[in-house]
Amino acid sequence: MPNSKTNKILLYLSSFFIIALVLFAVLRDNSSKITLYEAKKILDNHTVKKVTITKDYVYLKTDNDIYKIASSQVKPEMFINHKVEVGAGSNVIVYILFAVLALGIGSLIFRWWQKRGVIVEGGGVNASRVEIQNAPLEAIKSDVKFSDIGGISDVKIELEEIIDFMKKPTRYKNFGARMPRGVLLIGPPGVGKTMIAKAVAHEAGVPFFYQSGASFVQIYVGMGAKRVHELFLAAKNSAPSIIFIDEIDAVGKKREGVRNDEREATLNQLLTEMDGFEGQSGIIVIAATNKIDVLDSALLRAGRFDRRVFVELPTKKERAAILEKYLSRVPNDLEVMKIAKMTVGFNGAALAALVNEAALLALRQDDKKVNIDHFHQVKDKVMFGKKKLQMLSDKQKAYRVTYQAAKAIVATYFDLPFEKLMLSNEKLTPTVDEPLIKHELESRIKMLLAGVVACGIKYGEHASSAKVDLDEAKELVEKMLKEYGMGETLIYSIEQNEALTSKLHRETKALIEKMSDVMIVVEEKLSEKESITKSDVKEAIDAVL
């Protein structure tokens, strides 16, 4: 609370002031000033125990008192029979006082810094400092425009109404219409939900308050709720404004009976704040999540997040629009649609990373422009992460070549999305969540089984590295029968699973045997270059069929 903080500061300042006064009273120059006549008299009486000479004064110390006389009034021969010391006089006291004050101010600053974080100790182990108070809740002036974001035409249409309301609230009020209090952006990571919210704030010309849902989850009960209250208060003071809560699922998960006082208190505060401001107050809350299924139903009811905008992975046309934005800053010799075609499953963030990696590669190779080969070389690095080919023996490499060649041939035969296969990558194409027809799923499973089948035909065995593909193949078969109802009956059974897996394995084996001549060509190229493009494989298949 502000009052208690002010009181603490005043208390600290008062304490140091009192300490300084006490030190001054104790250490100040409390000697009595005397004349030359009085000094001679005291010296003649032999009561002086100690003589201290400074630049300005000579101090005469007796059993009971301390006297001082100006140094200019005395002569050295006056103290022949006395012990004389050279001192710094009253300057010492000043220095001591300054040192005490410096230490006091330093400790006050240290105490303030320490208050910003709490050192948590438990079980004899020092945990890292936990920062209770986040950065001040200040509005951000967004500089992101809708024109800076490619491939979100549908989302723009949904949000234009929000922007118009922020610009002309009176128009809606006079008509008796109320804008939604909350807009929920739903979509996978990396599709640009935060950028979209910033663009809305920029287009509307209003302050933008950004907070992550995780920033509300504190170790002390009440701190998250306090943070929510401060956020809404700051937004109201700057209205019209936009509050953006990223990863709202961190604080807005369903309450399922598992007690979590801090999270529940924070969620309750959020619900209260959203109920507490009027629809015409000029505040709109935008939140983002990729897990709408875990959100509490109280957040999703009408009057809170009552408008939902789905931000999906970009289509080929949208990927081309996004790539255009990023490639406009890079010298290139490219057909954007070709890059868009080879980036199925990429989100906006991945496309940005792809262009950047291609540009870096072109610089390393001293090329003047980025070309399609640069994209082929870095695509797998962006999709799956850079992975070096292990140190394989000649026999292990032969197995690997056969395994990858079979996958490339089956993927090309069924026209699965890939552009280039590297010998070092287990995955050939990314897993996609978009709806697929039964024969498309079966084609993918055959591609996943192709390596094992080919090694079985040629060597009678396969390597343990097939685990990744086999796990995905088994998972897809189970989903087809259990979740998608693509079996002979809608009721899942182990027998159906075994029958479908065996059928696809047989069909894959028949296809690989049919492509034996193609396998020879593809294996040779893979063994030599450790990579092969889809067009090279297609050329080999067309030559045989």
Residue with tokens 């006549």: 37
Whether residue 231 is found in the same domain as residue 363: no
pLDDT score for 452: 95
Kindly report the CATH number assigned to the domain that includes residue 418: 1.20.58.760
- pTM for the complete prediction? 0.52
In a domain, 101, yes or no: no
Judge whether residue 320 has pLDDT over 80.
Answer: yes
Total count of domains within the chain: 4
Residue 113 tokens, joined: 């810094």
85 three-state secondary structure: strand
- Using CA atoms, how far apart are residues 314 and 339, in angstroms rounded to an integer? 13
Whether residue 298 is found in the same domain as residue 158: yes
Whether residue 83 is found in the same domain as residue 153: no
Whether residue 375 is found in the same domain as residue 401: no
For the beta carbon of residue 222, count every other beta carbon within 10 angstroms.
Answer: 13
2 band by pLDDT with thresholds 50, 70 and 90: very low
Whether residue 439 is found in the same domain as residue 459: yes
Whether residue 236 is found in the same domain as residue 325: no
pLDDT digits (tens, 9 = 90+) for 483-524: 889 988 888 899 999 999 999 999 999 999 999 999 999 999
Total number of residues shown for the chain: 545
Burial class (CB in 10 A: 0-12, 13-18, 19+), 235: buried
405 band by pLDDT with thresholds 50, 70 and 90: very high
Kindly report the CATH number assigned to the domain that includes residue 48: 3.30.720.210
pLDDT score for 21: 66
Residue with tokens 């919210």: 197
Judge whether residue 78 has pLDDT over 70.
Answer: yes
pLDDT score for 268: 81
In a domain, 110, yes or no: no
Residue with tokens 């128009």: 171
Residue type, 131: E
Residue with tokens 């699973």: 497
Taking the chain, what is the end-to-end CA distance rounded to the nearest angstrom? 80
- Using CA atoms, how far apart are residues 344 and 417, in angstroms rounded to an integer? 7
Helix, strand and coil content of the chain, in percent to the nearest 5, comes to 55, 15, 30
150 three-state secondary structure: coil
Domain boundary among 384, 410, 441: 384
For 130, list phi and psi in degrees, rounded to 5: -105, 125
pLDDT score for 441: 92
Whether residue 159 is found in the same domain as residue 289: yes
HSE-CB of 460 using CA atoms within 13 angstroms: 0
Whether residue 407 is found in the same domain as residue 482: yes
pLDDT digits (tens, 9 = 90+) for 91-123: 555 556 666 666 667 666 766 665 544 333 333
Q: What is the DSSP letter of 314?
A: P
Residue with tokens 């024969």: 439
The mean per-residue pLDDT over the stretch 210-235 comes to 75
pLDDT digits (tens, 9 = 90+) for 361-377: 889 888 888 988 888 87
Alpha-helix residue ranges (DSSP H) falling in 460-515:
467-482, 494-514
In a domain, 35, yes or no: yes
Domain boundary among 356, 384, 412: 384
Whether residue 286 is found in the same domain as residue 371: no
Kindly report the CATH number assigned to the domain that includes residue 359: 1.10.8.60
Judge whether residue 3 has pLDDT over 70.
Answer: no
The mean per-residue pLDDT over the stretch 181-199 comes to 82
Alpha-helix residue ranges (DSSP H) falling in 385-429:
394-413
Beta-bridge mates of residue 287: 184, 245
Q: Outline where DSSP puts E strands in 221-296.
A: 241-246, 283-289
The mean per-residue pLDDT over the stretch 430-452 comes to 85
For 370, list phi and psi in degrees, rounded to 5: -80, 135
Task: Report whether the peptide linkage leading into residue 240 is cis, meaning its omega lies within 30 degrees of zero.
Answer: yes
- Asked whether the beta carbons of 74 and 39 are under 8 A apart, the reply is yes
Domain boundary among 65, 93, 121: 93
Whether residue 439 is found in the same domain as residue 402: yes
pLDDT score for 413: 93
- The C-alpha angle with vertex 215 and arms to 212 and 218, in degrees rounded to 5, equals 155
In a domain, 102, yes or no: no
Kindly report the CATH number assigned to the domain that includes residue 164: 3.40.50.300
Whether residue 170 is found in the same domain as residue 287: yes
pLDDT score for 131: 42
In a domain, 137, yes or no: no
Q: Domain containing 189: what range?
A: 146-310
* CA-based nearest residue to 266, from 227, 234, 323: 227
Q: What is the DSSP letter of 230?
A: H
- Asked whether the beta carbons of 69 and 35 are under 8 A apart, the reply is yes
In a domain, 290, yes or no: yes
- Using CA atoms, how far apart are residues 107 and 458, in angstroms rounded to an integer? 77
Whether residue 429 is found in the same domain as residue 327: no
pLDDT score for 480: 92
244 vs 63, higher pLDDT: 244
Q: Which residues contact 442 (CB under 8 A, 6 or more apart)?
A: 504
